[in-house]
Structure 1
Amino acid sequence: MEQVFSCHKISEGKASGEVLFSSDDFCFYLVDPQTGIVIEKNHCLEGQSIAGKVLVFPNGKGSSVVQADGLYQLKMKGTEPKALIIRNPDTTLVASAIIMETPMVDCVETAFYTAAQNGDWVEVDADKGTITVRQK
């Protein structure tokens, strides 16, 4: 089954991958750049890899330097998420996503958050303002 949801483009591009939801705010500096595994203690995604995933999270956290450097380190090692879906974007993450050419969207239809589940295949087309979900 395939469902399409509307969203707002922050950083252009199109990417797809398995979706991974984080209920906790996210700091890219607390991810091992070699593996893409979240190393932040007590984070809901601790021990899981964000590499190649479409990462859904509420907010960024941490200083601007650690956020930008964290995403940069992941990109340089090829362990970055394919796309970012964020509820509350901040200027640091917006600038980082644009510079790293990572598609990023917000203002997603509320139904997306109940329709999609970890492991579903998701395509983010920021340019068209759509997220397509294919349930596993």
Structure 2
Amino acid sequence: MIVLHGRKVVGGVSEGEALVTRETISGWGGIDPRTGKVVETRHELCGVSFKDKILVFPGAKGSSGWSQYFHLARLAGTAPKAILYNRTTTKVALGAVVMRVPALTDFDRDPLSIIEDGDWVRVDADRGIVEITKKSS
């Protein structure tokens, strides 16, 4: 098991399978909140849903509509279980709050260099701890 330490944005505990992207995510026009799928055509996750995943990504891009679209995903039941991100902006911080999912940032090591798709991740945002169990090869 690998352990990362980060700073709490939104508290709580959650665990699940990791979904990782090295590309920032756009809310307005970039995701479909009804399905939780990334719909931005040039994004590496285009067509992939973050529903019930631990979303690991560098941060948000686009307009202030980012938080609204992720809030709509929460209302539709398609939001990720938790989010881990590197670059804090008002968009992603407000998005974390309105999604009401555990969220961490400012890690002791880059989660994008450690966590891979399919790894099992337990996020304890109250304690600032991420536990990663690597997927079986």
1:68 counterpart residue number: 67
- One-letter amino acid of the structure 2 residue matched with residue 46 of structure 1: C
* More displaced stretch, 25-34 vs 78-87: 25-34
Identity of aligned residues (%): 33
State the Cα distance separating 1:112 from its structure 2 match: 4.0
State the Cα distance separating 1:111 from its structure 2 match: 6.0
- One-letter amino acid of the structure 2 residue matched with residue 118 of structure 1: D
2:99 counterpart residue number: 100
Aligned equivalents of 1:112 and 1:62: distance in 2?
22
Q: TM-score, normalised by structure 2?
A: 0.90
Residue segments in structure 1 that go unaligned for 5+ positions in a row: none
Q: TM-score, normalised by structure 1?
A: 0.90
Residue pair 1:22, 1:45 contacting (<8 A) in 2 also = yes
- One-letter amino acid of the structure 1 residue matched with residue 109 of structure 2: T
Q: CA offsets per residue over residues 9-39 of structure 1, 9 Å max, x none?
A: 1111111111111111112332222221111
1:22 counterpart residue number: 21
Residue segments in structure 2 that go unaligned for 5+ positions in a row: none
Aligned residues, how many? Answer: 134
Report SS of the residue matched to 2:18. Answer: strand
Q: CA offsets per residue over residues 40-66 of structure 1, 9 Å max, x none?
A: 0110111111111111111201111x2
Aligned equivalents of 2:110 and 2:87: distance in 1?
17
2:34 counterpart residue number: 34
Q: CA offsets per residue over residues 112-131 of structure 1, 9 Å max, x none?
A: 43332110110111111100
User: After superposition, where does 1:1-136 map in structure 2 within 5 Å?
Assistant: 2-29=1-28, 30-64=30-64, 66-110=65-109, 112-136=111-135
- One-letter amino acid of the structure 2 residue matched with residue 114 of structure 1: S
- One-letter amino acid of the structure 1 residue matched with residue 88 of structure 2: P
Aligned equivalents of 2:88 and 2:72: distance in 1?
20
